[in-house]
Structure 1
Amino acid sequence: MRINRFISCLTVVVILCFAEANAQSYEEWIDSANVCIERDSLSLAENCLKRAVETEPGNARNSLLLTHLGHIQHQQGKREESIQSYSLALNYTPLDILALLGRAASYMELGDEERAYVDYSNVLDKDINNKEALLLRAYIAVRKRAYDVARADYTRLLDSDADNADAALGLALLNQKQNRLKEATEQLSELIRKHPGNATYLQARADVLLQRGLFDLSLLDCEEAIRIAPKDAYAYVSRAEVFLQLKRKRDARKDLDQAVQLGMDRILLADMYKQCR
């Protein structure tokens, strides 16, 4: 296996050395990039695509090349560089959906949700049913407290894709945030029915039931979530919250200790530990 990889890498290096020694055309640089991609040599493919664009800076196809370049840079963790490439691609073809989605993803990973929101909105101006843009703009909208926008996006996505679990969960959590707890419970129950054995949905419903004061039902969901995912620290924190409401302080403390053992930061649980005294 290592020998095959060595030969593959050597082949790519030979191709690029030949390319550098002999002035390549636009198409030849693209072909070299494809060879590098096939051999999983992303940094070399990145160089080839840059050289192609430099060879013919006025070529209309550069929009697609720069979008591919941005994707390759994103895969390598070069978020800032990928944003530059996507932005250059958009100079050639403004409102190109692939470039906008790619740039938005890089913005999200850098924590720049405002710019990502703008890009997702521009995608939806062109393709109102784009699933990725609807889902992620809704997510950002909730964080911005633009709840009407989030609800509209989740609803539109579910209208076109009724089985989209991410959108269904997002809408349920939005209903919880807006104190529409009965709706949230029903939506989470439907998710659990469709996806039995999913600890995330059980924990989410447990939180809603806790908020509704249905402590015994919440405890049942917590215990089932722990049975399914015994290494999930958050599940123990959820159950500890229920135990505190039931005045079972000793049990709550045990669950908090277990959560800490599983990696939860004890500082984040300081208030709950105080309630266990």
Structure 2
Amino acid sequence: MNKNFFFIILSIFTYFCDRVSAQNYQALRDSLSKATEALSYKPDSLDLRLKKAGWNILLEQWQYARDEYDFVLKQDPNNIAALFYRAFVNEKQKRYNFARLDYENLIKIVPYHFEARLGLALLNHKDKHFTEALNQINKLVELYPDSAIVYAARAGMEMDYKHYELAEFDYSKAIELEPENNNYRLNRINVRIILKRKDDARNDLDILVRNGIPRANLAEYYMKCK
């Protein structure tokens, strides 16, 4: 998987699985301890198990989180939150077939669940099910033409296929929808350098500098544009 595609996956999941800093690690541990204690008094509470699993995810305790989602889904097989987050945990554990099954079961329940559809497309690409992934991401573009992240995700796939012109188009659409997203612009710079459109790439770099990124941090890219 190339660097561009990694950035797309990272941007999708970062809001519920950022690496915790040393400063707030203990706070998360404390929250987990409280959730575990509350669960000890009400072991059959599905809500408490989901909350505990959420803390497990933030601490990257994948197996503990999966155990909680397994319990919830045994009691409530159609629990949307448990299906979605277990799919995510299964993917982190490289249990791709299980993750795929969770996404597919969730989509059967909620056919237009955006995050599940996007997660499934990205998973299929990651697991080299390229035809399925491309069909799924194309369908998402049809369903959500105003979603920048969908265009960016498709661009990341196209980069892996070396379809650079298409990738440049899709990154441009993503930037049009979210002009302040620096990751999308940085990815377009990479594509434009590959396509030998150095003036266009340099223009994007200048925009990043105006957006507050230190020019020194972009020195390598400026060198490639000479």
Shift of 1:161: 1.0
In structure 1, what residue type is equivalent to 2:67?
A: V
TM-score for both structures, normalised by structure 1: 0.63
The answer on whether the counterparts of 2:62 and 2:93 sit within 8 Å (CA) in structure 1 is no
Unpaired runs of at least 5, structure 1? 1-76
Question: Which of 75, 84, 100 in structure 1 is aligned with 2:49?
Answer: 100
Q: Give the one of 72, 90, 111 matched to 1:162.
A: 111
Identical-pair percentage: 33
Distance 2:187 2:153 in 1: 9
Pair 1:145–1:234, CA change in 2 (3 A): same
The 3-state SS of whatever aligns with 1:176 is: helix
Contact 1:135 1:167 in 2 (8 A): yes
Instruction: Give 2:3's aligned residue.
Output: none
2:161 is the counterpart of 1:209: no
Cα distance in 2 between the residues matched to 1:176 and 1:226: 23
Residue in structure 1 matching 2:121, options 159, 165, 172:
172
Cα distance in 2 between the residues matched to 1:248 and 1:129: 50
2:171 matched residue in structure 1:
222
Q: Look up the match of 1:133.
A: 82
Q: CA RMSD in A?
A: 2.7
How many residue pairs match? The answer is 201
Distance 1:259 1:153 in 2: 39
Write the distance in 1 (CA, Å) between the matches of 2:196 and 2:62.
41
Residues 62 and 92 in structure 2, CA contact (< 8 A), matched pair in contact too: no
Q: Of the two structures, which has the highest relative contact order with CA contacts closer than 8 Å and spacing of 6 or more?
A: 2
Distance 1:130 1:174 in 2: 21
Larger Rg: 1
Q: Deviations over 1:92-126 (max 9, x none)?
A: 33242111001111222334333222222222222
Does 2:189 match 1:233?
Answer: no
Residue from 193, 200, 221 that aligns with 2:142: 193
Change (3 A) 1:114 1:260: farther
Structure 2 vs 1, CA of residues 202 and 263 (structure 1 numbering), >3 Å: closer, same or farther?
farther
Verify the 8 A CA contact 1:234 1:259 in the aligned structure 2.
Answer: no
